[in-house]
Structure 1
């Protein structure tokens, strides 16, 4: 990938953050865009785990929900500042993920998928029956919102800049990671673990790193969600939410840089477009996902990349989409 291409995708994200508030005004679409930004953080983490390292994780919403509940509990019961509570929740969940990764990552393929699925179900059951600690099926309300000193974040604009600047920072960091030695090791593990190990890559250690990092990003997104919505329920930990995150990733294109952001944005916009056909929302989502899988196996982002490359007169496929295509071919 050339430096010119790197600057292009980053410039697109910066341009979006710069002009979106002026285009949206006071529109109710603002909340949809903010929610999309929060989920984009979680899906970027899932993209590291599944898109780059090739670890099939089906319980990502469990870490999203843990981040939300731990941060909310610290803020409500211990009066911890929201930003500090999010940081502490990420640290605690990173430690928890590190511990459970030892047995989980001994599994591979479908067994790993079942293991992460089981973990997600366990976390949902614990939170749903957590009594006063988690609020049970009723969830937790009156969660403190974001603030800096005496200034409270109230408007969609305030939250937009907080959320999307965070997305921008994470995008830059994860992209640099993907282009680093560690990133190349992750892609090698995705392609062939045996070959990667023969070249001196410590496969298990790299799996641990990417799994902990990806799950911690999911927890960070959950913390943002809790303090943005000021109410959470066990639904955010459910298997349904994990599947939604997978769909967001596949829609955008797992293994690409902008794919998680593009896919999350498309997924969150679909209900708004289909608002007049509310009874058929699930059907519309299913048809769109099926069309993407059939005609755009690299996700929506792969189509955007191809158009951009054709406009530049290039015929080569971007590296990040090639990673995904190789994984599809391998399967």
Structure 2
């Protein structure tokens, strides 16, 4: 395992370029509708897992209501597309803005809570949001939801085929990865990491803990809203059952499996827990049991996830430092031996 991680750390850029190339040619090799649909869902859940990882993985705050922001973005996107006739790019901006606003309003009172208290409040918010979507018939359509949502329309082009929508969600996922990576490698990201490590110590160092918690929670909500907007135009139908508590648990499971605080971990977790249930569709009655068993094993034997607590940057620096020391050591021994 150590050799594999060392190889990954030293060749990460090449590995990511190869994976990106595989993702781009995938629709031309596997063009069956069912396989394409699973691939689209893999990237969709990757975006959701990355957004939740900001809060749970990088900031260390357990949220059980992430599906609420996913649903807010989906309904905002559906309303923009069906009633306002917005272009998809504008729809994404509005959906992200509405979800971010809801996340901001929610974060102001609840982010002073910690641990299980925060988890309970976010769980309750998820259920409240579902009930609002279920009963606000004039806006959300109630139990019937919103149907006949048009396909994404971007700069005069309508993306009707599954292949074009696949490339759209790949682009959204890449932008999400860029945002999360840039954020966590900025001053804000370092503050967020310090808060996760020790809030009291971070506060003593002059970091405004509450401010950065609100920023992180709001950005995560906005990214979930973007995923929701895509989901609405991809499925062309939204209803409250798609954004219930079990959806939050599913996204959290992907984040935990892949690794808390790991971008590659979110990708792996989303792909594994999206693809495995589909591969086990023949074992329908045991599928959820196997799904739960996988998560239980991970929680017991590797609670940080597959790639949790693994810093590829530090591994690469360690290897380079060891190589540099070996060269210096060899150079020092040469003259002494001669």
Which of these residues, 36, 39, 46, is aligned with residue 52 of structure 2?
46
Which of these residues, 268, 288, 298, is aligned with residue 294 of structure 2?
288
What is the distance in 1 between the residues matched to 2:310 and 2:203?
A: 34
1:232 and 2:238 aligned: yes
What is the distance in 2 between the residues matched to 1:20 and 1:12?
A: 12
Distance 1:232 1:119, change over 3 A: same
Which of these residues, 201, 213, 217, is aligned with residue 195 of structure 1?
201
Tell me if the contact between 1:271 and 1:281 (Cα under 8 Å) persists in the aligned partners.
yes
Structure 1 gap segments, 5+ residues each = 317-331
What is the distance in 2 between the residues matched to 1:92 and 1:278?
A: 37
1:115 and 2:124 aligned: no
TM-score of the superposed pair, with normalisation by structure 1? 0.87
Task: Give the structure 1 partner of residue 179 of structure 2.
Answer: 173
CA offsets per residue over residues 129-181 of structure 1, 9 Å max, x none? 12132111221110111123453212221111111122112212211221222
1:246 and 2:249 aligned: no
Which of these residues, 36, 41, 64, is aligned with residue 58 of structure 1?
64
Deviation, 1:5, is 5.5
Query: What are the residue-to-residue correspondences of 1:1-331 with 2, within 5 Å?
Result: 4=10, 7-8=13-14, 10-301=16-307
CA offsets per residue over residues 47-103 of structure 1, 9 Å max, x none? 001100111111000000000001111221222223312211211222232222111
TM-score of the superposed pair, with normalisation by structure 2? 0.85
Distance 1:293 1:22, change over 3 A: farther
Task: Give the structure 1 partner of residue 328 of structure 2.
Answer: none
What is the distance in 2 between the residues matched to 1:299 and 1:103?
A: 30
Deviation, 1:290, is 1.9
Deviation, 1:234, is 0.5
Residue 58 of structure 1 aligns to a residue whose secondary structure is coil
What is the distance in 2 between the residues matched to 1:20 and 1:305?
A: 29
Rg comparison, structure with higher value: 2
Q: Which stretch has the larger CA shift, 131-140 or 190-199?
A: 131-140
Residue 300 of structure 1 aligns to a residue whose secondary structure is coil
Distance 1:188 1:237, change over 3 A: same
What is the distance in 1 between the residues matched to 2:60 and 2:311?
A: 22
